[in-house]
Each structure stands twice: as structure tokens, then as C-alpha cells.
Structure 1
């Protein structure tokens, strides 16, 4: 049944926002992803919002809000609280428009986001452990200095700006059955849902949250749920969704799905290895939901919003390596060995002759569970696959080396 346009926000508001930001914000590509089709069983089209200047969708709403300020408001300066993407968006476009900007960010915000925000000319204050904690400090500073708030999600002009994503997606691919959108405070999914339902009342809008922060999931069901923890998807780690966004989500969004930290991690790795693109935790949440619930989307044409790609490079490298361990492409073994000359050479020769690549070696003589005439050797080995790893271990044991598998991912012996 078609839904009546909300008095809060209409398609015309979002179309106006699209005209406002045209030329200053990139109209990002929506591309088919055959690699994801094979994994999910759906026909997937990815909206690459990680290609924005700040590598995230937040520029749309931030710029639309800034363009609505009066000259007097601009002179007072703006303030925002953010885990990073909204911060960079406000900083970039405030600098471009000549507006002073102060950004309050949680203490745990990845350094790449903090440094990028400073590079755009904004003053940064670190406060609290979550965006909700940062908001309290931003409220205090705003009241003290008279700064104008640019809220990351609970502002109708911001929501309208984020809704322009749906306009572009449905222009490029009008026959999409479902849009999957990561959810934190709800600004993006609210704007997308209003626009998409106005264009196609039958389209399905699915939100995705981290299991650690199911705030909108709980609001949609009118159920209290605990939020908290150190999430890989810090961009959507919001304990309390917005007032406007809750109303719009309840009116327009069909469902909210929850995903685990391990599912988010796997989705980041799929984007990296299969599509050769970078997704931060929040940006990968939609794909995580598709992988976790393939039956839900099988056979459908799905628009997937990759909303951001700002992730700590060290964390991204760690995720890629952890996945290699899960798949058995890297194994860690412990060898109990006699403490005699030549034993290290024999072990490395055996591994090398079978095509294994030794990545790291750690030699221990002081472990008390080993004979005083013996030692332990911890070895990290790159292998072709699980079977190859098993062959290497079997060859070592055939040479009277006792081997313990320390990490093996999906390997079973």
C-alpha cells in the first residue's frame, strides 16, 4: 500500500537538496557487482559513496544544512559532533564557504578521520567514548559560544541531503526491488526511504545496525535494548537515534537487521578482495546483512549503499590477514624440537620443498613444559589452501617433529 508523504519531509525537499548540492558533491556511481551476486544469490548494485571527496556520504546532508544558514549564523560559526565522516564533511564545506567550524569527536575516533578533519581547517576537540558522549560536550560548547549546530542525523535539512542518494540510485537503476542502508542515528536511511517510497511505493527499505548498537532496531519495535561496546562499525555506533529519524523510520522503513562484529569484518574483507574497494565498518554493514541473510534477498535486485571508506589502514591490514588465517592460507604451528644443531635448517627445508612460505619464526628455550634439552619453534607459514597446510604438517611429523596447530581458521584435522 502506498505511503503518504510525511509532513516532516517530502520528495520535493530532497529534490531541492539535490539542486543545492549539485556540482559541489559527487554524484557517485551505482555499479553492478557480479562478484557479490555469486555470494548472496541476489543481483547486487553497489552505490560507491566512498568515492566522495571525504570518502563518505555525509557531505550531502552537511552541505545542504550549511547552505540554509543565514549570514549572521555563518558568522557565529558551526559546531558538530561526529565519529569522523560527518566531521570531515562539515569541515570541508564550512572551509569552502568560509564558515568557522568546531568538531567534537569521541576519543576512540580513528586517527585518519581526526587528521583529515583538521586538514580541512576545522578545530577538533576529543571528548567521551561515543558520539553520544561527544554530543554532551558539543551541547555545552554550543551554549557557551553560540555556535550553530550541524547535527549528523537529526536535522531535516541534513536528512534531505542524504536522501539525494536514493534519487541517484533510482535514476540509474529504476527497477531495484530493495535498498539496504546502514543505520546509526538514522539520517541516511530516513532521507533515502522518503525519496525511494515516493518514487516507488513498493520498494523495500532495509536498515542494518551492529548488534552492539541496536538503537533504531529497538525503536522500531518499541523495545528497550542495551547498546554499548567497541564496535568495528564506529560510524553507526549510536545509542540514541534522532527524534525526526525515529518517526521517519517507523513510517517508511520496512525492517532493520542486526549484524555481528565478525560478519562486519568479513564484509569489509569481501569488498577489499572481491570488489577491490575499501569499506569502513559502517560502510560494510549492508553487505554483512546480505551475507548473513541470503535467503532474505535471493533473486532480488538490491541496491547496496557502501556509505564510507574511512578505515584505519592498520586495521584494514589486520582484517585481511585474519581472513587469510580463517581460510587456512596462513597457519601458525608450534614444533617441539630437540635442541641440536641443524634442526632449524631441516624444518625450513621440509617446508620450502613442499612450497610453503615461512613468514615468521620464534624460537623458545625457556618454556617450562618443554624438556631442558629441547625447545619450541613457533612458525607462521603461508600455504595455498587447507590441504596444502595438512601436507606440510604431515611431512614435519613424519620427520619426528611434534606439531601443534596454534591457529587454523576453518581447518579441521
Structure 2
């Protein structure tokens, strides 16, 4: 299986110029002086997904793009694809799992997407069927080289802004972000360690890497994590990248995810959804290697009620 390389990531960076925010690497002096965050929640759609979606849509030929694009997503990739498609005059359909965040579903519709809701285990097959039926292009949320290359631009920017970075922490769900970031960072800064982070309730990548083969956890199992953006497992393509380029994967509990959301809001002034807080949770828990560390805050599309609950719990007298 051919893996994405630094050339594809660098070419994606050129395509994204002007349409995607080049987010900063922000120091966090309230930690220990060696911790920075990469706030992808500052993207126009609130998450890193805009990078891969924009790159993938830009690479479609005009005739294909005119027939529209289809994907499956719990929210962030759907918003990103709808945004990219609208910018280029293409129709967008998103197949969302039942129980998806209402905030994210409404945001996808606001971007002009048609949203089709199905049981979680049927979302990928439904997206493929719709794409075939309508002659549209399927742009999956992570299982595509163009998407991985676009997400890898996060890694390019980290190394450019902090050339002596020692550790990069990145959330892992489908694995597109971690695959792309690891591709860029290991090529540009071979001594750096790229560490994936998963919830304990959705740790299929950690299990797969430990076993030496890809494993798939059923949605009935992963639905117990608050981090809805990483409930979906990796693909053969992303697992190949993660096995080759990740240094390790660590896991965090639900209480640690909630705590990290609160810390990011109160100390870094950043709104992070549960999936977006994973990398910071791993650092704060002490489960990661030490050194100059950047944690990717992958998204900020948090449910307002959940955010209020987390913040209230953080300041409630004990």
C-alpha cells in the first residue's frame, strides 16, 4: 500500500493558501513552560477537517465536481466538505449517524449540505450507495490520500513554527489527521515523537497497534465516549500510516477529557469539543513523553449544554 509522502502534503499546503486559516502554535505558560497548543478550532468551520476536504475537492476535475460530492460524517468533516463544495459551486450530501450532535447537524445544513441520517453502522455504505446512484464523488472523512495530505499541513505548520519540537500529540479517530501530521513531522523533524491519543472507550487503534493488526470496535462500544468525533475507527489506509509513523498511542478517560475541556476554556481561552481536548488531556494526565510538546486542539464545535456542564463542574464548590 502506497503511503502519502511529504511532497503531497507540501502541494496540499499550496492549494489551501487563502482558503484555510494558518493557525498559530500558542504557548501555554500556565502548564510547565514546555507546552503549546495548535488551535484548529479557529478554522472557519471550527475544526481541522477543512484542510483535507478543501484539498480533496480542489483536486476533483470540473465535470466530477459538477455532479456533487457525498460523504459520511458525525459533523466536522461534513461541515468542512459543505464549506469547500459551496466555495466551488458544488452540491454536498452528508450521511450522518443517528445521535450525532444537533449543533453539528444544524451547522452542516447551514453550510448548504443535504443531511441524511442513518444508524451509525450504515453510514459508510449509505454514502457509497448515494454517490453511485447520483454520480457524485465520494469524499470520505479520512480514508483517502488527498484528505490525509490536506490534514498533514497541520504538521508542516507545527514544525515551521516550533522547529525544535520534541513531541506532537494528536487525536486519533479515523486516523486521517494523525496520519497526515505524522507524515509531515517525521519527515521534517525525525527526532520528534508523534503520539496519538484516544479515549479509553474507543481505543481501537491502540489495541490494533499492540496486536500488530487492525482491529475494529463496534459502534455499540465506542458510543460510550463523550468524544463523538473519534468514535469511528481507522481504515486500512490510515492504519498503515499510523503503524509506520506514529511513535505510540496513549488513552485517556472520560473525566480527563472533561477536565481538559475546562482547562482549555479557562486557561487558554479556547473552546474545545471533547475530541479536540484529547491531546491536551493526555499531556495534563502525564501519560505522554516530556519535552517541547504541541497538542493539536482538533476542533471546537462543542455542544453548548455540555460546555456549560463542564465549566460549571470545574468551578463548583466542593
Identify the residue that residue 230 of structure 1 maps to in structure 2: 224
- In the alignment, does 2:197 pair up with 1:203? no
Q: Taking structure 1 as the reference length, what is the TM-score of the superposition? A: 0.73
- In the alignment, does 2:297 pair up with 1:297? no
For the residue of structure 2 that corresponds to 1:83, the secondary structure is coil
- Alignment gaps of 5+ in structure 1: 1-5, 330-407, 409-413
Q: CA deviation at 1:251?
A: 0.4
- Alignment gaps of 5+ in structure 2: none
Bigger Cα Rg: 1
For 1:172, which of 161, 178, 182 is the aligned residue? 161
Q: Distance in 2 between matches of 1:185 and 1:7?
A: 18
Identify the residue that residue 155 of structure 1 maps to in structure 2: 144
Q: CA deviation at 1:323?
A: 2.3
Matches within 5 A, 1:9-408: 9-37=4-32, 43-128=34-119, 130=120, 132-222=121-211, 224=215, 226=217, 227-238=221-232, 240-293=233-286, 296-298=288-290, 300-325=291-316, 329=317, 408=318
More strand as a share of residues = 1
Q: Distance in 1 between matches of 2:253 and 2:23?
A: 28
- Taking a change above 3 Å as real, the CA distance of residues 225 and 117 of structure 1, as seen in their structure-2 partners, is closer
- Taking a change above 3 Å as real, the CA distance of residues 192 and 313 of structure 1, as seen in their structure-2 partners, is same
Of stretches 137-146 and 118-127 in structure 1, the one that deviates more from structure 2 is 137-146
For the residue of structure 2 that corresponds to 1:28, the secondary structure is coil
User: Any idea what the Cα deviations from partners look like across 1:255-302, whole Å, max 9, x if unmatched?
Assistant: 0011111110111011111111100001000011112225x434x100
Q: CA deviation at 1:7?
A: 4.1
Q: Which has the higher contact order (CA 8 A, sep 6+)?
A: 2
Q: CA deviation at 1:225?
A: 7.1
User: Any idea what the Cα deviations from partners look like across 1:190-249, whole Å, max 9, x if unmatched?
Assistant: 0111111110111100000111111211221226575423321100111x3111110010
Q: Taking structure 2 as the reference length, what is the TM-score of the superposition? A: 0.94
Q: Distance in 2 between matches of 1:109 and 1:136?
A: 17
Q: Distance in 1 between matches of 2:40 and 2:67?
A: 31
Contact 1:185 1:216 in 2 (8 A): no
Q: Distance in 2 between matches of 1:309 and 1:95?
A: 21
Q: Distance in 2 between matches of 1:204 and 1:105?
A: 34
User: Any idea what the Cα deviations from partners look like across 1:23-76, whole Å, max 9, x if unmatched?
Assistant: 110101111011122xxxx61111111100001000000000001111221122
Contact 1:49 1:308 in 2 (8 A): yes
Q: Distance in 2 between matches of 1:255 and 1:112?
A: 32
Contact 1:154 1:244 in 2 (8 A): yes
Q: Distance in 1 between matches of 2:307 and 2:122?
A: 26
Q: Distance in 1 between matches of 2:108 and 2:140?
A: 16
Contact 1:74 1:99 in 2 (8 A): yes
Contact 1:206 1:254 in 2 (8 A): yes
Q: Calculate the aligned-residue CA RMSD, in Å.
A: 1.5
Q: Distance in 1 between matches of 2:48 and 2:152?
A: 10
For the residue of structure 2 that corresponds to 1:121, the secondary structure is coil
Q: Distance in 1 between matches of 2:2 and 2:302?
A: 37
